[in-house]
Chain A
Amino acid sequence: MAYQDYEIVIGLEVHSELKTHTKIFCGCTTAFGGDPNTHCCPICTGMPGTLPVLNGKVVEYAIRAGLATNCKINQFSKQDRKNYFYPDLPKAYQVSQYDLPLCYEGAVDIELGDGVKTIGITRIHIEEDAGKLLHGSGEGTLVDYNRCGVPLIEIVTEPDLRSPEEVRIFMEKLRTILLYSDVSDCRMNEGSLRCDVNLSVRKKGAKEFGTRTEMKNINSFNFATKAAEYEAKRQIKVLEEGGTIIQETRRWDEERGMTVSMRSKEEAHDYRYFPEPDLMPIVTTDGTLETIRKSLPEMPDARKSRYLEKYQLTAYDADLIVASRNMADFFETAAVASKNPKLVANWIISEVFSRLNEDQKEEGAIPFGPDMLAKLVNLIEGGTISNSIGKKVFAILWDTGKDPETIVREEGLTQISDDSALRAMALEVIAGNPKPVADYQGGKEAAIQSLVGQMMKRTKGKANPKMVLDLLKELLAGQR
């Protein structure tokens, strides 16, 4: 199969649930879970005669997301009905936006191995989420409308992505941006961030796009990547065998590791959009736009370049830290309070990340404040404790939240830098270990490490290792 002869073209439609307290058109809670149909009212279950009223926060959050992805804003926007019959949508139409989405023509930069690539954002519009279908005991399908009416933004990209890997990098970047803008929890396991992958292939150099297929509702970056990989190969195989691609909706089957055709609904694309008569247009003044713009925090790209410049972090370390706004905020506060920001970054990347990983906690779940990490770093930087004692203090800090200075005092962990005490101990160690001493004297330099180890053991790791080494060398040289 001539896989290399083809170019993969991918565009995404990303759905993100907004973190409002209430649904888009009624006061029902958006809380995840809850017994079926307990977060519902006549409006979100589409009872006849009810009227929707738009949640103002939805507009604000959508505009925030738009500004964060460099979109233009339609200052005159409206909502439209998208008509289709499916039991997850009790009104038989979804209130969405058709020709005047709140945001349009944006761009998101992603970093690839060979440089930065700009992915165009076609539009961002607001709409309502649908309910959930469950399997009943018998023939029937059960419907839970708790999620029905939860506000969504749909972010549509240009067909700018060229590989499954680019899909993964873009999705991670978009998630970071949405978290920074504080508009969505982006919890993929709760379905608050999911995407449809539109994919086609064409011979390299071809001008026209190939026929595309759409894979719906993929709720993990991993699945999106795998689905795109599989689907690209499938399409190339079909074309290589002289077949044609049918424009259809496919579904990613994780268990079988393949995409499968969904029953094609012949009228699926005849949504007969028309302006929603029950909802008034949305007008955003320059003043409102400016207020929202000012309330946005510094975005990850800007933060990263600042960290490179101000704190001399490596690009790799900076990427890891800015990937989460909570972590970046934590780092920055600790960096300012510490004498060595780069060391703070090292501690976050090694110890903090691995503990969060061990405990399976999210980035925001560090059980102590940034000032505590700064204190720990300062104790090491100032020579009060060694790096290895630092790890011990870190473990206690993590479990108890106690001030590192208190921990060092209570546990008696202060580094021993007292020359005379160490000297006496070193003489004892030399006297008690004739073999390594002889080895060292005989030219085996490494043998001295065993003596250093003895010293560290006797001092329970509290001796200043550099000092111990120098001291032993000095004493052994004198005995030669």
Chain B
Amino acid sequence: MKITREEVERVAHLARLNLTEKEKEQMTRDMEAIIGFADQINSCDIHDVKPTAHIIPINNVFREDVVVASMDREQLLENAPNQEQGCFSVPQVVE
């Protein structure tokens, strides 16, 4: 399966990745190889196979609706690059 440079750029943008020209070239080749590998599945006969939501045959893993203590805020914010007034501080979001 052919992967175009535009596709690589689009996927990179969606993932918020800034790729250099060289990386884009490399990525185009790598993605083509990966997709090609995964493409083999299209040659399988899946006539009788149900769509799989999950590979492990377990359903209904539920938790009781019981409150447990939340994390101490100082600890929660410890690794935040920036914090202010008990909040995570991020670059301004323009709306």
8 pairs of residues in contact across A and B, judged by CB atoms under 8 Å: A22-B68, A29-B70, A78-B53, A136-B87, A143-B90, A144-B86, A262-B95, A267-B13
**Distance (whole angstroms) from the CB of B93 to the closest CB of chain A:** 5
Q: Known: A27-B68, A277-B54, A280-B61. Contact between A37 and B93, CB under 8 A? A: no
Say whether A41 faces chain B, with CB atoms less than 8 Å apart: yes
Q: List A contacts of B66 (CB < 8 A).
A: 21-22, 27
Say whether B41 faces chain A, with CB atoms less than 8 Å apart: no
Q: List A contacts of B60 (CB < 8 A).
A: 280-283
Q: Are B91 and A140 in contact (CB under 8 A)?
A: yes
Q: List B contacts of A251 (CB < 8 A).
A: 95
Residue of A with least CB distance to B95? A262
Q: List A contacts of B53 (CB < 8 A).
A: 78, 100, 275, 281
Assuming A38-B86, A55-B63, what are 15 further A-B pairs, CB within 8 angstroms? A28-B68, A36-B85, A37-B88, A40-B71, A41-B76, A42-B76, A53-B61, A56-B63, A83-B14, A136-B85, A139-B91, A139-B92, A142-B85, A263-B95, A283-B59
Say whether A272 faces chain B, with CB atoms less than 8 Å apart: yes
Say whether A479 faces chain B, with CB atoms less than 8 Å apart: no
Docked CA distance A42–B72 (Å): 11
Categorize the interface residue count of chain A.
35 or more
Q: Are B93 and A40 in contact (CB under 8 A)?
A: no
Q: Which residues of A contact B (CB under 8 A)?
A: 20-22, 25-29, 35-42, 45, 53-57, 59, 78, 83, 85-87, 100, 133-134, 136-137, 139-145, 251, 262-263, 267, 270, 272, 275, 277, 279-283
Q: Are A87 and B59 in contact (CB under 8 A)?
A: no
Main secondary structure of the interface of B (DSSP, over half): loop
Say whether B16 faces chain A, with CB atoms less than 8 Å apart: yes
Q: List A contacts of B44 (CB < 8 A).
A: none
Q: Are A54 and B63 in contact (CB under 8 A)?
A: yes
Q: Known: A28-B70, A270-B14. Contact between A56 and B62, CB under 8 A? A: yes
Instruction: Tell me how many residue pairs across A and B have CB atoms closer than 8 Å.
Output: 129
Q: List A contacts of B4 (CB < 8 A).
A: none
**Distance (whole angstroms) from the CB of A205 to the closest CB of chain B:** 38
Q: Are B65 and A21 in contact (CB under 8 A)?
A: yes
Q: Are A272 and B85 in contact (CB under 8 A)?
A: no
Q: List B contacts of A275 (CB < 8 A).
A: 53-54
**Distance (whole angstroms) from the CB of A397 to the closest CB of chain B:** 38
Q: Are A56 and B56 in contact (CB under 8 A)?
A: no
Q: List B contacts of A45 (CB < 8 A).
A: 76
Main secondary structure of the interface of A (DSSP, over half): loop
Categorize the interface residue count of chain B.
35 or more
Q: Are A280 and B67 in contact (CB under 8 A)?
A: no
Docked CA distance A136–B86 (Å): 11
**Binary interface encoding of chain B residues 42-75 relative to chain A, with 1 for a CB under 8 A from any of its CBs, else 0:** 0000000000011010111111111110110100
Residue of A with least CB distance to B68? A27
Give the 5 A-B CB pairs with smallest separation, nearest first: A56-B62, A27-B68, A142-B87, A57-B65, A78-B53
Q: Are B58 and A280 in contact (CB under 8 A)?
A: yes
Q: Known: A20-B65, A140-B90. Contact between A41 and B59, CB under 8 A? A: no
Q: Known: A136-B84, A142-B84, A283-B60. Contact between A85 and B16, CB under 8 A? A: yes
Say whether B94 faces chain A, with CB atoms less than 8 Å apart: yes
Q: Are A141 and B76 in contact (CB under 8 A)?
A: no
Residue of B with least CB distance to A279? B61
Residue of B with least CB distance to A138? B84
